Structure 1
């Protein structure tokens, strides 16, 4: 079958577009980055607060940290944020113990790197926890993320690729036969 001149170019473009859409369909099941627009993705660079407050930004940051085997800091920070919203005193005690055993105690499965004084203070007070019992540790972890993990994330190929994909995704394709 003979096709009009230029048709191969259009077919190739449609094929490339379909391949990109197939890739995006696969990628979106792994994460929710596809919903953010380029402005949002670039806004994540403003501050670690902006990144952590955005659902897609947080997901991207966590994915990056997991790739570096250092997700315990953001997981601890999130656990503390959730802990502060706890109303029931029984739940305060159980959640505090869970955070302590997961992140603070020696040889915890996700042990965070905090100074001896802060760790010791938490250990001495964990039997009667308050909603602020992890505040000092959370501040230290936040500072570490802001000064170390966050800048690395912004320099990472993960972030650069997300910005690029979102910029490309926001450009509409024009096909003359549609």
Structure 2
């Protein structure tokens, strides 16, 4: 029984340590999307899960926000609607009826915030579903290692610089066994 406790505790401690270390690097969907290599790795992952359209939509919305003229905004809004929002569109994203309806009404005079609600919903969906699965993949781990090297951080030194919360979780498994 002691061997089981040691192995189980060791795995949990290692996973918690990895989570702590990557969180020091700014481990988030935002970090991944802010770097070209992160976007590419995440896109490949989304493609393997058949939901690449979510990232394409989110990026299209980011581009839309940079439109300067009303004419350009109208053209890009119509394009985004046809590609991602319209029922049966080639890359239709998963949005509720009310959000689709609101965007459809907005197309007559699209303002800078025409897609803001939909963009946030898709981002949250990517963050809470796809991104969590992505963090368990080898491409993600390679990305995090690359980011850590760029920032001059070394994984084995981070615990020295900051108090590691994993230290508080370490328990001697032998103390968990009753001797009564």
- Scaled by the length of structure 2, the TM-score of the pair is 0.64
* 1:137 pairs with 2:118: yes
Distance in 2 between residues matched to 1:79 and 1:165, nearest whole Å: 27
Number of aligned residues: 129
* 1:158 pairs with 2:148: no
Task: Please provide the CA RMSD for this pair.
Answer: 2.6
* 1:68 pairs with 2:33: no
Q: Deviations over 1:4-39 (max 9, x none)?
A: xxxxxxxxxxxxxxxxxxxxxxxxxxxxxxxxxxx9
| Residue ranges of structure 1 left out of the alignment (5+ in a row) | 1-38, 168-178
Q: Partner of 1:57: helix, strand, or coil? A: helix
Runs of 4+ aligned structure 1 residues displaced above 6 Å come to 164-167
- Scaled by the length of structure 1, the TM-score of the pair is 0.65
Q: Structure 1 residue 163: deviation in Å?
A: 5.7
Gap change, CA 1:92 and 1:164, over 3 Å in 2: closer
C-alpha contact (below 8 Å) 2:38/2:143 kept by paired residues: no
By relative contact order (CA 8 Å, sep 6+), the higher-ranking structure is 2
Q: Which residue of 2 aligns with 1:125?
A: 106
Q: Which residue of 2 aligns with 1:27?
A: none
Distance in 1 between residues matched to 2:104 and 2:144, nearest whole Å: 42
Q: Which residue of 1 aligns with 2:80?
A: 99
Distance in 2 between residues matched to 1:68 and 1:125, nearest whole Å: 31
